[in-house]
Amino acid sequence: MKTLHDDHYSYRVIWSEEDKEHVGLCAEFPSLSWLAATPEEALRGIRGVVRDAVLDMKKNGETIPAPVTLKRYSGKFIVRVPPEVHRRLTLEATESGVSLNRLASARLSH
């Protein structure tokens, strides 16, 4: 079957101890998966399942998820934390001589 030339989706393969097999996953299609004996087979399998899902969605006029790797990101997002956490982090940033933004960015980068 023809493969998608625009397959830029985010795939990963993990081990399932429960199934005793490798599981192929796609971030943009979280309800899909593929079990296989080897990581390579799991990746090949999930790519095929995604290809078939995309072709079916196109045929039915459904909205196809955009690959997250092709999206543009501003580098800004808002995180809500309890007031006590906000206070503690602000104090830690002040004592370290850095901004709260720099402290949060450093923590999230790990």
Cα-based angle 80, 99, 83 (whole degrees, multiple of 5): 30
Domain edges within the chain: 11-69, 73-109
pTM above 0.75, yes or no: no
Summarize pLDDT for 30-79 with one digit per residue, the tens. 999 999 999 999 999 999 999 999 999 999 999 999 999 898 989 999 99
Nearest to 54 by CA among 108, 3, 109: 3
